[in-house]
Chain A
């Protein structure tokens, strides 16, 4: 019997599923390339230059530089979460792709692991396209900002795992709207993204640090782009690693429970 926390037997074949998604991504590169590009510009103009012209500085940092890492972190969250909720749900339920895959030597564990890796890869790609734009506007510093790429993978994997858990238990595609506006949108606003956490009431600050995954991604991302490294990066990384492992394991077991009857 599979339990919620049992270690799933994933094989190297998972990479086949990842590769399938990559091929589709490359086939449709035009629609995939521009969103991150436009996204970065929209945020920079609307919030950075619009609101930024009133705010000027946060904690001694130009406002636009303050939010640049948040733009990256939010993209990490959105791309992986969207990919492993709507994207995976469509492949699972409407396209029956998972059924087709598990008729081959791929196991359901391989399929879900491949999907999770793909979700994380989407985050990396999104960030990779945004980085040059942000650099061109002079709001992030190199070379340390390049560490945003591995961070995007780790953070992406975390949001992929969380998203996949939701996909595994959602009754239908419409219900996926709930985590979007109950979880993703609040996180986008209250994770130290567009204003420092310290402006929140103390109780909310604790909640943000304890429960909102984005808080930790933003914090690390900001250390890379400003740059302003601190030893607390280790705490953030440990938090992300633990949550990533927990949710990725749970998501595979929940999906197996849903699909293997």
Chain B
């Protein structure tokens, strides 16, 4: 079975800068597929190529088994896009934004208006129906953008940092809505910086850096495969470091903590207690964040 999106050796150059450096992936129908990576990894560029607004430099890209270079309008008719930047139309109310946007998909006015009200209800903005968008809070604007992306009943939803800058309440609401959409059979592709968000939402994801895909898989599998089950964190001291080295235990120093990834925290804890005189120590489950930092490093990108 072919996927909703098929990319093979997909590449994008801006002049001499290589933004996306030959990536291949398949997004299957009905799944939530995530793109993770530090700033400048090429996530947004990939989203733009899928959304038919930025032509690829080379490689193969098929969306709904169509070529974005050849049939952009046909593909875009079936896409819902939530951009990173809030680009609601400030000349309209919430309702006006949705109704006008529906017009761009050639949806007749009557159905457009009905759909707009349904969607305002879906993202819990019905009481803001006739409010100018400039007066909305950041969270409301993001919800309205999500509603806008749904006006055409898309088969594929593309979300670029859907919850950026939102408070926890607003993030949870967006997550809940995305879960509902997935349950209704929508295919969703998203980028995010929030690794808890990715772990929570994505069926499968890729981690990108420097325009390349580093790993691909289900969040839990990636954690298990690249880090292990658990992380033991212990306060850094000369004794602890010497002791870990003596026992040949691989570890990573970050600031004043030492992290040891392991499948058996009990064993590590035992060794530490018995021979290393640790001060503070804690054990926690390994997360996607550990995988992310392990693969992309701790150096700041911006």
Footprint of B on A, CB under 8 Å?
Answer: 11, 13, 16, 19-20, 23-24, 27, 95-97, 99-107, 260-261
Binds A, one of B100-108, B191-199, B207-215, B277-285: B100-108
Question: Could you count the A-B residue pairs with CB atoms below 8 Å apart for me: how many are there?
Answer: 63
Q: Which residues in B have their C-beta under 8 angstroms from that of A106? A: 104
Contact of A103 among B51, B74, B88, B89 (CB under 8 A): B51
Q: Which residues in B have their C-beta under 8 angstroms from that of A16? A: 103-104, 106
Binds A, one of B76-84, B116-124, B175-183: B76-84
Q: Which residues in A have their C-beta under 8 angstroms from that of B30? A: none
Q: Which residues in B have their C-beta under 8 angstroms from that of A20? A: 89, 100, 103
Which 9 A-B pairs rank lowest in CB-CB distance, beginning with the nearest?
A: A96-B87, A104-B104, A103-B81, A105-B73, A100-B87, A24-B91, A105-B76, A105-B77, A99-B87
CA distance A11 to B77 in the complex (A): 14
Contact between A13 and B53, CB atoms less than 8 A apart:
no
Q: Which residues in A have their C-beta under 8 angstroms from that of B79? A: 103
Residue of B nearest to A105 (CB): B73
Contact between A99 and B51, CB atoms less than 8 A apart:
no
Contact between A11 and B73, CB atoms less than 8 A apart:
yes
Contact between A95 and B85, CB atoms less than 8 A apart:
no
Q: For the complex formed, measure the closest distance between the CB of A95 and the CB atoms of chain B, giving whole angstroms.
A: 6
Does B54 sit at the interface, judged by CB under 8 A?
Answer: yes
CB<8 Å pairs between A and B, sample of 26: A13-B73, A13-B104, A16-B103, A16-B106, A19-B103, A24-B91, A24-B92, A95-B89, A95-B91, A97-B87, A97-B89, A99-B53, A99-B85, A100-B88, A101-B104, A103-B51, A103-B53, A103-B76, A103-B81, A104-B101, A104-B105, A105-B73, A260-B54, A260-B55, A261-B14, A261-B54
Contact of A107 among B72, B81, B85, B106 (CB under 8 A): B72
Q: Which residues in B have their C-beta under 8 angstroms from that of A260? A: 53-55
Q: Which residues in B have their C-beta under 8 angstroms from that of A19? A: 103
Residue of A nearest to B93 (CB): A27
CA distance A207 to B179 in the complex (A): 66
Given contacts A95-B91, A103-B51, A104-B104, 4 further A-B contacts (CB under 8 A): A16-B103, A16-B104, A105-B73, A260-B53
CA distance A95 to B86 in the complex (A): 9
Q: Which residues in A have their C-beta under 8 angstroms from that of B83? A: 99-100, 103
Q: For the complex formed, measure the closest distance between the CB of A25 and the CB atoms of chain B, giving whole angstroms.
A: 10
CA distance A100 to B144 in the complex (A): 13
Does B59 sit at the interface, judged by CB under 8 A?
Answer: no
Contact between B76 and A95, CB atoms less than 8 A apart:
no
Q: Which residues in B have their C-beta under 8 angstroms from that of A105? A: 72-74, 76-77, 104-106
| CB under 8 Å from chain A, chain B span 262-277 | none
Q: Which residues in A have their C-beta under 8 angstroms from that of B54? A: 260-261
Q: For the complex formed, measure the closest distance between the CB of B31 and the CB atoms of chain A, giving whole angstroms.
A: 22
Q: Which residues in A have their C-beta under 8 angstroms from that of B85? A: 96, 99
Does B153 sit at the interface, judged by CB under 8 A?
Answer: no
